[in-house]
Structure 1
């Protein structure tokens, strides 16, 4: 039990350092995040996940199909908890950077939106469990979401997300991992 606590602390420290390494230089250049998020969920093979992250708006907007497209980038740190090879539970840390496209309905006036994006992620160690084995620590993070803005000036959001993590077949084995997540986000 004590060893697991140490591993969890190392994972949290790794995620914190990785996020600080990206956020600090961006903030120094005036690129401050516009919002933060927390999310949690579960996936196949008894994997639980929790994540925190920040988002930056990107300077691009376009009208399309009666709605509005916009872009942002998000940096996240996740903790996955899965069945270990020895039958217990094991923690895995994932950090990622994902550019996202957002479609907001009704010429951009609707509180409802859909998002999609593909980015890169890195796990602190290879994901090896009783149920799955990734061949790489570096993977792609594919994300789809539907959500709704609410609150004063729509500054808060809830979204239901599907996250698929895999190496896109660059190296075998590549079983991938699918997670369903519920996210709460709030503007700063």
Structure 2
């Protein structure tokens, strides 16, 4: 009998605890750590792998003009559930926690609903990823993300983006095959 991935059991509780821990107390503080948005994403990877994620988003105060566009930043913290082929022909599941700083370039000096984004972060899986076709050597991975998307709705609070995400340990330990996922992301700013 396969054990239940810890993210299914503890993930929602940990996200709720993180949210509560960042809530502002009655006395005002100069630094507000409350998240300003949520995100969900999912997609497909190599060798029939699949991924689904849910998380929180914190914007940075960064706002710069660059190449006729506006450069901003944000940090995403999210939990992911991976599904991959098992050695017996069935499916196995892995859970992962990601922390990814992202840079976003919004076109037309920030007036366009269209944007491009990229980031490099870190992730930790509940166990080492191993399938009949691929085996990682570490639970720790770097998370590389590139994507493009569009904001919509009142005050551009909703957004959809298509992202290519690469996970690998950057050669810290061999083997380091890495894996790529193509993901669709929905974000909502509060």
Count of aligned residue pairs for this structure pair:
184
Say whether residues 1:13 and 2:15 are aligned partners. Answer: no
Q: Alpha-carbon deviations, 1:110-132, whole Å to 9, x = none?
A: 00001000001000111011111
Say whether residues 1:106 and 2:108 are aligned partners. Answer: yes
Cα separation, 1, equivalents of 2:135 and 2:17: 28
Q: Alpha-carbon deviations, 1:59-90, whole Å to 9, x = none?
A: 11110000000010000111110001221100
- Deviation for aligned residue 1:11: 3.2
Cα separation, 1, equivalents of 2:98 and 2:15: 9
Q: CA RMSD in A?
A: 1.6
TM-score (structure 2 length as normaliser): 0.91
TM-score (structure 1 length as normaliser): 0.92
Q: Secondary structure at the match of 1:13?
A: helix
Q: Secondary structure at the match of 1:107?
A: helix
What are structure 1's unaligned runs of at least 5 residues?
Answer: none
Look up the match of 1:27.
23
Q: How does 1:7-156 map to 2 (within 5 A)?
A: 7-8=4-5, 10-16=6-12, 18-20=14-16, 22-28=18-24, 30-156=32-158
What are structure 2's unaligned runs of at least 5 residues?
Answer: 25-30
More helix by share: 1
